[in-house]
Amino acid sequence: MECRILSGIKPTGQLTLGNYIGALKNFKNFQDQGECFIFIADLHALTLPIEPDTLRTNSRDIAAFYLAAGLDPNRCNIFLQSHVSAHAELNAIMQNFLYMGELSRMTQFKEKSQKLNQEKIGLGLFAYPVLMASDILLYDATIVPVGDDQTQHVELTRDLAKRFNNRYGNVLVMPKAVVTKVGARIMSLSDPTKKMSKSDQKGDIYLKDNPNIIRKKIMSAVTDSESIVRFDRTNKPGISNLLTIYASIKEISIEEAEKNFINANYGTFKSAVADAVIEALEPFQKQYYEYLNSGYVDLVLEKGANRAREVSNATLKRVHDAVGLL
Ligand code: ATP
Ligand code: LTN
């Protein structure tokens, strides 16, 4: 069997440059490596409060962004998580094989729940990794392309697969996270010690920002007073972040990026970073709007869900048989 690749983005807000560099931009490269399942994690978006209209808009947006990023519906199944009921069904089974101790140690849960009233932390937020593990295991995915904030969840998925297989035999396929070398963690422009995140807002570049806004945001990114463009995450997080952005957009190494700016001042450097980002995003945005307004998105989602149901129902059946469900 050819290998399967699976990843997803949750429609919680406007996609950022971090999502583009850490996830979107890389997805198309996996299309030749096996059968791809790239979905919109809309059930996951419900783990924090969200307006129904916002969820609907964001979900279509991500589908159009997938297409604009070069995903080809003939080589990649694009679908909505909620359209494939096996996700929720496998979740109901798998929740018995992950432990509350493990779930409470997840960094994403700790970060997101910290910001909430402790009496009102939803069970779904806590159990998030169970659903994510179900997403992955349903497709027998061996490759899971993600940014480095998600590797902990993929590790937990591996623990779950091992635990389940030890108990029931060889039922689940072991997945592996694949993280891009450069750009796995793009930081906020206003606080480069924090991840750029779509539910955060300050210091983000949004994929829908126009060139003037993008330039303005990059020119006012927080840096330091040394005036030397070199990579040093600890002492120069702002400059290191801009170098990472530049290198990943240009698809070069950090060392090569540094060489380009040996004698440059910060103004010149930032301006070059802005040029690179704008140059990459302009054609991408144009395509995104074309797809969004074409009605094509719904057809793509329907086709993707049909194939996703086929594959995931077969896995679900295997799991039912293994655990003794009639
Ligand atoms: P939220 O703010 O709602 O938690 P997010 O912006 O972190 O969302 P996700 O939907 O969780 O985005 O992530 C989608 C993909 O984008 C994941 O593979 C994730 O690792 C990647 N990603 C998100 N933010 C960044 C970032 N700042 N740098 C690199 N990759 C990122
Ligand atoms: N948890 C991921 C989104 C996500 C995902 C997945 C990624 C949900 N299910 C399965 C890869 C595989 C996130 O927050 N980025």
Going from the Cα of 40 to the center of ligand 2, the distance in angstroms, rounded, reads 9
Q: Does position 200 have pLDDT exceeding 70, yes or no?
A: no
- Between the CA of residue 177 and those of 31, 35, 152, 201, what are the distances in Å? 16, 16, 9, 27
CATH class of 4-181+295-323: alpha beta
Which tens digits make up the pLDDT trace of 12-67? 999 999 999 989 999 999 999 999 999 999 999 999 999 999 999 999 999 999 99
99-115 average pLDDT score: 95
Q: Which residue has the higher pLDDT, 201 or 155?
A: 155
Choose, from 25, 112, 217, 270, the residue flagged as catalytic. Answer: 112
201-210 average pLDDT score: 87
Q: Quick one: DSSP state of residue 236?
A: B
Ligand 1: which of 6, 9, 30, 125 to mutate, most ligand atoms within 8 Å of CB?
9
Nearest C-alpha neighbor of 129 from the set 112, 143, 116: 112
Distance CA 254, CA 243 (A): 7
- pLDDT on residue 325: 98
Which tens digits make up the pLDDT trace of 260-278? 999 999 999 999 999 999 9
Q: Does position 199 have pLDDT exceeding 70, yes or no?
A: no
Across all residues in the chain, what is the average pLDDT?
95
Which tens digits make up the pLDDT trace of 290-313? 999 998 999 999 999 999 999 999
158-170 average pLDDT score: 98
Q: Does position 216 have pLDDT exceeding 70, yes or no?
A: yes
Q: Quick one: DSSP state of residue 174?
A: P
Residue 199, C-beta contacts closer than 8 angstroms, at least 6 positions apart:
12, 13, 48
Going from the Cα of 146 to the center of ligand 2, the distance in angstroms, rounded, reads 8
Q: Exposure of 126 by Cβ count < 10 A (0-12 exposed, 13-18 middle, 19+ buried)?
A: middle
CB atoms within 10 A of CB 162: 12
147 pLDDT band, cuts 50/70/90, is confident
- pLDDT on residue 197: 82
Which tens digits make up the pLDDT trace of 114-139? 988 888 899 999 999 999 999 999 99
Distance CA 39, CA 18 (A): 18
Q: Does position 158 have pLDDT exceeding 90, yes or no?
A: yes
Nearest C-alpha neighbor of 26 from the set 180, 175, 152, 151: 180
2 pLDDT band, cuts 50/70/90, is confident
Atom of ligand 2 nearest to the CA of 145: 11
CB atoms within 10 A of CB 313: 15
- pLDDT on residue 183: 75
Which ligand is closest to the CA of 38, given by its number? 2
Going from the Cα of 8 to the center of ligand 1, the distance in angstroms, rounded, reads 10
| Sheet with 4-9, side-by-side order of all strands | 76-80, 35-40, 4-9, 143-145, 176-178
Distance CA 220, CA 190 (A): 8
42-51, 188-197, 239-248, 273-282: lowest mean pLDDT where?
188-197
* Pocket lining: 150 vs ligand 2, CB cutoff 6 Å: yes
Q: What do you get for the CA distance between the two ends of the chain, in Å?
A: 28
185-197 average pLDDT score: 91
- pLDDT on residue 181: 78
- pLDDT on residue 105: 96
- For ligand 1, which residues put their CB under 6 angstroms from it? 9-10, 12-13, 16, 18-19, 21-23, 146-147, 149-150, 184-186, 195-200
Q: Enter the tokens of residue 25.
A: 């931009």
87-114 average pLDDT score: 96
- pLDDT on residue 201: 64
193-214 average pLDDT score: 86
Choose, from 10, 195, 217, 270, the residue flagged as catalytic. Answer: 195
Contact 203, 196 (CB under 8 A): yes
Contact 320, 313 (CB under 8 A): no
Distance CA 176, CA 43 (A): 23
* Pocket lining: 10 vs ligand 2, CB cutoff 6 Å: yes
Ligand 2: which of 5, 9, 142 to mutate, most ligand atoms within 8 Å of CB?
9
- pLDDT on residue 137: 98
